Amino acid sequence: MQETYEPKILAFLCNWCAYAGADLAGVSRFQYPPSIRVIRTMCSGRVDPFYVVEGLQNGYDGVFVFG
C-alpha cells in the first residue's frame, strides 16, 4: 500500500469545551486519525502565539487551537 502523507498535529484544547468534546468523541467511539497530540489548557485563551511557533519548530506539521 502506498504511504500517504499524514501530518502530525499539535492540538490545544480548552478543558471546559474542546477537551470535554474530545472525551465525548471517545465515549461515542468516533474514529479519527491517530496523528494528533493533545495538550489540555484551562482555556484556549491560554495559548500564547509563541506556543504555536514552538510547536512548528519541534516537529509538528500543524497546530490546532480549539475552544
Residues of this chain that bind another protein (CB under 8 A): 8, 10, 15-16, 19-20, 22-23, 25-35, 37-43, 45-49, 51, 54-55, 58-60
Nearest approach, Cβ of residue 1 and another protein (Å)? 13
Q: What sign results for the dihedral spanned by CA atoms 25, 29, 30, 35? A: positive
Sequence-distant (6+) residues with CB within 8 A of 15 are 40, 41, 42, 43
Dig out the grid coordinates for 55 from the structure.
510547536
Nearest approach, Cβ of residue 53 and another protein (Å)? 10
Nearest approach, Cβ of residue 2 and another protein (Å)? 17
